[in-house]
Amino acid sequence: MLFPNNDGAISSKTPEFHAIILAGYGNNLDPLVDDEKGVHKALLPIGNQPMVSYTLQWLEEARVFDVLFITPQSHKAAIQHHLSSSNSSWPSLRVELESVDDEEAESLGAADLLRMFADRIHSDAVVLPCDFVPPPSLPLNLLLNAHRVDVEDPVITALLVETGEEIKDGPMPTLMGLHAQSNTLLFVDDNADPDDDVSLRMNMLWRYPRVQLTNRLMDSHVYIFRRTIFDLLQQKDDISSVREQLVPFLCKLQYQPRRREKYGPIINPNANMQELALEHSTTYTASPAQTQRASKEHPIHHSIVSTPFSPRSGASTPAVESVPASQIADEPEEPPSDHPIRCNVVVHRLKDGYAARANTLGTYFELNRQCLRTTATAPVTGEGIDPKAQVSPDSLVGASTRIAERTTVKKCVIGKHCIIGKNVRMSGSVLMDHVEVHDGAKIENCIVSSNCRIGKNASLRDCHLQTGWVVDDEASHKGERLKRFEAYEDED
């Protein structure tokens, strides 16, 4: 009774961390994703690898083996297939694939999903999106350690990523407030109205007098949650989004005493273990404020502590008596409790490598480019590549792809089983699998989905092509989103 089993305790049965991967539809990646044709966001290639494999490898490296993979029902089969087929890159992961009904999945937020599967999680959780691509300089362990070593035992550790200059089609930055000295996340601007002034609470500024406000950081949606957050989610069922509701809510808990009073016991169920232990010690005399607080917040412990040995019933200190109880009870704001709630934050700077979520076309494209930057600098050769073709070293060419003579490829990612004709010029583009490019085509800064066919002498610039799109011979497109509405007959 006195020492109930701590949920967060490390035992042989429950792992230290349980990973939860949330895979969604990727509505911002239109026209690349196409659920009808089985092209799902989680499996979109980045640097010729499905993006989810980066996440899984990241977990594997950090030795977080228990993974709960939540995906919409319609994606399940394809992802299941991918997980079982390329098991070799994450041999020790135990991935449980769970799905939610498609209609529900559309309307549910990340927090709703977590709430739904809360009973599956018995330890602290690492919540990740399927689309986060970490640079090599950012191992997951960095994050886990930040969560582990923090003396204040954070309820949440969030990963923020510096965005640098704005990327075209990139995500909108939100305003965030940090306490840089203690790596505390203090403020997430949850006000959607851009005309309103930013309101900063004074109680935050009293507690954290130095707040760094920035709109250059993105929430990576990689979080480490304390187990009790799931209890909180059960309690507060109006929280639907993690990023927009749960995190701002937790931030506010840090400096709003009333809220903390209300929700603190859920998050810190064993908060006064130390106090309790001290009260049983014979040499301990509680300070009046502490005693008051303890009795105010945790009335249940009265029955436990009033043993004959307790200092409260025995030699109570004169200080307790000299201060009228009413005064302390009337304190407008409660003194900070011994177990503050803290939102830890890890900031990944741009200079340490580009990290982002591939949830918009802009970041998807940029991540592909970043992949090229980190790949080998040796000139790319392969059986399918004609010796007379020029493929720059900073390109990536998938297996069984054929590139014909006098074709130049610069800074491109080319998938598997592509057929590229003669005299083709390609630069800065992403080609997925099974793309056919006919002779003399020009492709610049484009994303070409799988099974596309690009006709002879066609010219494409800054275009995004849907799966199976056919570009006619001699056609020219610039800055377009090539997406079909009913034109199915174009398929070959």
Partner 1 sequence: MPPKDTQRDKGSEEEEVLQAVVLADSFNTRFKPLTLNTPRCLLPICNVPMLLWTFESLALAGVEQIFVFCNAHSDQVKEAIQTSRFSQPSSGVHIVPIVSPRAMSVGDAMRELDEKQLISSDFILVAGDVVSNLQIDEVVKEHKERRKKNKDAIMTMVVKRSGAFHRTRPVGDASVFVLDPTTSECVHYESILAEPAKRSIMLPREVMEKHHEVEVRNDLIDCSIDVCSVDVPVLFSENFDYQDLRRDFVHGVLTSDLLGKSIYCHVVEQGYAARVRDTKSYAAVSKDIISRWTFPLVPGDNLPGGDEYEYRRGNRYISKDNVMLSRTCTIGNDTIIGPQARIHDNVRIENSVIGPRCSIGPGTIIRDSFIWDDAYVDAGCTIEGSIIGQAVHIGTGSTIKKGCLIAEGTKLGPKAVIGEFKRISREKPPADEEEEEGEEEIAEGVVNGMAHAKRGHFSRMPLALELGEQAEAYVWPDTVGADVGADGRSSSAARDADSEDEETEAWGNLKHLRLGMYQADISLSWTEYGFDPYFSDTDSSDDEEESSLASPASGVLLTPSGDSIPDFSLAPRSSANFRSECVSSLERALAEGHTVDDAAIELKTLRMASNVTMTEVRDVVIEFVVGLVKGEPGSAAQKNNISPVVERWAGLITNLMASERVEMLLLLQVRFKTCARLPNYLAAFKFFLYAFYNEDIVEASSIRAWLKDPRSREAMGKASQANMEACWKQGAHTLAVIEADEEDSEEEDEEDDSE
Residues that bind partner 1 (CB under 8 A): 175, 177, 181-182, 194-203, 205-216, 238, 255-259, 262, 287, 289, 319, 322-323, 327, 330-333, 335-336
Whether the CB-CB separation of 485 and 469 falls below 8 Å is answered with: no
Least distance CB 242 / partner 1 (angstroms): 18
Name the residue nearer to partner 1 (CB basis): 199 or 377: 199
Least distance CB 179 / partner 1 (angstroms): 8
Which residues partner with 97 through β-bridges? 69
**Taken in order 219, 222, 223, 229, is the CA torsion positive or negative?**
positive
Name the residue nearer to partner 1 (CB basis): 81 or 262: 262
Name the residue nearer to partner 1 (CB basis): 74 or 290: 290
Name the residue nearer to partner 1 (CB basis): 36 or 238: 238
Report the distance separating Cα 455 and Cα 389, nearest Å: 19
Report the distance separating Cα 220 and Cα 241, nearest Å: 14
Least distance CB 427 / partner 1 (angstroms): 31
Name the residue nearer to partner 1 (CB basis): 198 or 399: 198
Name the residue nearer to partner 1 (CB basis): 236 or 477: 236
Which residues partner with 159 through β-bridges? 346
Name the residue nearer to partner 1 (CB basis): 336 or 379: 336
Rama region for 396: left / alpha / beta (φ>0; ψ in -120 to 50; rest): beta
Whether the CB-CB separation of 285 and 311 falls below 8 Å is answered with: yes
Distances (CA, A) of 461 to 280, 343, 425, 442, 447: 75, 44, 11, 8, 10
Report the distance separating Cα 231 and Cα 50, nearest Å: 33
Nearest C-alpha neighbor of 91 from the set 120, 67, 108, 75: 67
Report the distance separating Cα 128 and Cα 219, nearest Å: 11
Least distance CB 238 / partner 1 (angstroms): 8
Least distance CB 247 / partner 1 (angstroms): 16
Report the distance separating Cα 276 and Cα 411, nearest Å: 63
Name the residue nearer to partner 1 (CB basis): 58 or 263: 263
Whether the CB-CB separation of 273 and 3 falls below 8 Å is answered with: yes
Least distance CB 347 / partner 1 (angstroms): 12
Omega prior to 194 cis, within 30 of 0: no
∠ CA 256-259-265, rounded to 5°? 120
Least distance CB 333 / partner 1 (angstroms): 6
Least distance CB 215 / partner 1 (angstroms): 5
